[in-house]
Amino acid sequence: MEESAENREIVNRYRQLLRVSKWSRQKGDITLIRKAFELAMDAHRDMRRKSGEPYIYHPLAVARIAAEEINLGTTSIVCALLHDVVEDTDITLDEIREDFGPKVADIIDGLTKISGVFDTNSPQAENFRKMLLTLANDVRVILIKLCDRLHNMRTLEHMSDKGQLKIASETVYMYAPLAHRLGLYAIKTELEDLSLKYMEPVIYQEIKQKLNTTKEQRNRYIRSFIKPIKIELDNLEVPYEIKGRPKSIHSILNKMRNKSLEFEDVYDLFAIRVILDSEPEEEKMDCWNVYSIVTSIYKPNPDRMRDWISIPKSNGYESLHATVMGPKGQWVEVQIRTRRMDEIAEKGYAAHWKYKESSEGNNNLDSWLNQVRDILETQEGNAIEFLDEFKMNLFAEEVFIFTPKGDLRKLPKGATALDFAFEIHTEVGAKCLGAKIGGKLVPLSYQLKNGDQVEVLTSSKQKPNKDWLDLVVTAKAKTKIKQSLKDEKRSVAEMGKETLMRKLRNAGFDYNQENINKLCAFFKLEDELELNYRIGKGQIEKEGLKVKDILSASSSKHKSGKGPKESTSAKRSSDEIVLGDENVDLEYSFAKCCAPIPGDKVVGFITVGGEIKIHQTNCKNAVNLMSKYGYRIIKARWADEKKAEDSFQAAIEIRGIDRLGLVGKVTDIVSKQLKVNMKSISFESLDGTFVGRLVIEVTDTNHLDSLMKELKGVDEYVKVRRIPLERDELAENYGNKR
């Protein structure tokens, strides 16, 4: 009976997929989609998801997201249905190629997860890099991968805590920025919010609850705000739609943290969007007319005006943004765009990608994909390093720069004259001496501003040096500089290698990996290349390179089982922290970057040296580690029983209106009323306001929360928040004590 109900549900979901993809289908497409569905159905017949549902629900959902939420066509729907078939079943890529053609096979090959051993410390990073390699050839790979990730995030409640943290960290680290870069704002926003839901569940639910509580109040306000605008727009004789734009939980939290605001103080919780059904040739004029109407009714904030209609973003985003002062002194953000612009903003320029062989695609997207391809072609070695540099450019705001001939170039905000030189051409960048802007000479480090017209000055004698890496921000420039430095480094290292081989031979040792590793460990160098380079440059002095003594000492140390004595002062066996699904008795230490205290949600991470570090799950370092090295995560939680004498240091910031006796009130609450031990306290006053910083000893987050609640009650203007401990405090907190 259950199987019959499941089969009916599968058929129902398949029909829904056909309905949402109807607009894009051509003759023969239904046959192809059905063929892919039947193959996936057969291949996954005996498989179940973590939720217990039939596995086929997942590829059907991914295909539906691709068709409905990104407007992808039949080829993408077929690939979405088959995206796990090669990885999880006996069906081969050759069979896919034979049944569905080379294009489908190539996309599925890009989608297939990597399994096996990689020449890197991180399968996750290598997996991202492979995706990007395929992306450079066909953008549908990453679009379907984003659909796959979105559905996994929507059903993440069925995973273990460790699995949730790993997947959520990967998502916020790389998938959300990729969605942003491809213009998929709706998907990017949902991925960020879902990641937050599992990484910081308490604060996620708090903000969600506050949004729900204030929803009707916000709706009433928006109705009163748009009433006079509608009267004027009706006279414009252009069909339009006005709708509220809810701000995402993730963006609200970011604003609260970055600007030290309470939820109630986030001024652009109110936002509306005006969407016009304009004729193509009238789009700009209609948008500016609406802007004129809105700003004649409500006073605009000139610093918050954004014009992405005259010069769209690189991912194709077009819109006019104005922040205006509405009734009752509330700021409201107004976004003005046409129906075409709105579709691009919600579903990305990739939704309009023309997939036929003759397609030229979109110039902006083409340009970006060419940059990706260029970086990937020269990238070697460290996949993590590549990812960090690549990710930098995904979220970056842009500046618009002109060449001497008037051509427009778009670069990330903060880009320098040297970045611009590499943007023009690798050779121009490598030979760059400086630049002229408006006829005035500027250095390589000059940060470009919107509208700059840049002339690059070059010399055949110039070549990149290591300091250049501090002068650029774009992944392209960093990659090209590193490539040039590596080429030079290799030639020096070759000479060093010959010297080392000769010394080893004279001392009676072989040039093999074991001996190289011992020498690298002795000189504290990261790899063989660095060792040979240092020898080639003469940085390892001849008298310091007594290979016989070094290798002989290393061998005897190994045989006797003795090694360098490790300090265990910062390590503990599991009494406060429970590691794994059961309490495994392993040594651990608390990460100094986030200083977790009991009550914080925590995770263990196994370092390269084999130590276990305990991080808060929302720690930025932990997010990066979990996204790159998911296989080194170890489940961790606080033990239920804590020793009564256990205490942890935490830092809090308190802000408010400066008035007589306030510092006394604060210290009275902390020391006398709540009996909390203060390690340090400092207050600064500025033009009638104050900011204070307290380092206190607490037993857990409940203890800290109750203290912060009491301090907020000092007066109505006081704001209190937890902040990170500083380096010297961390040493005291997590040094000798644990």
Active-site residue set:
87-88
Cβ 369 vs Cβ 419: under 8 Å: no
Amino acid, single-letter form, for residue 430: A
Rounded Cα distance between 607 and 609, Å, is: 5
Q: How far apart, in Å, are the Cα atoms of 545 and each of 500, 522, 691?
A: 9, 10, 55
Rounded Cα distance between 574 and 636, Å, is: 10
Rounded Cα distance between 690 and 682, Å, is: 10
Q: Which residue has the tokens 């000189």?
A: 523
Rounded Cα distance between 256 and 268, Å, is: 12
Q: What is the phi-psi region of residue 496: left when phi exceeds 0, alpha when psi lies from -120 to 50, beta otherwise?
A: alpha
Cβ 140 vs Cβ 355: under 8 Å: yes
Rounded Cα distance between 349 and 204, Å, is: 30
Q: Per this entry, what is the length of the chain?
A: 738
Amino acid, single-letter form, for residue 532: N
Rounded Cα distance between 39 and 185, Å, is: 33
Q: Is 631 buried (19+), middle (13-18) or exposed (0-12) by CB count in 10 A?
A: exposed
Give the residue among 116, 82, 120 at the shortest CA–CA distance from 99: 82
Cβ 684 vs Cβ 691: under 8 Å: yes
Pairing assessment for the beta strands 271-276 and 240-244 based on DSSP bridges: antiparallel
Beta-carbon contacts of residue 513 (< 8 Å; ≥ 6 apart): none
The first and second tokens of residue 463, run together, are 């070549």
3-state secondary structure of 685: strand
Give the residue among 250, 136, 240 at the shortest CA–CA distance from 187: 250
Beta-strand runs (E) in 179-280: 240-244, 271-276
Q: Is 603 buried (19+), middle (13-18) or exposed (0-12) by CB count in 10 A?
A: buried
Rounded Cα distance between 154 and 704, Å, is: 33
The H or E element spanning position 287 is helix 283-297
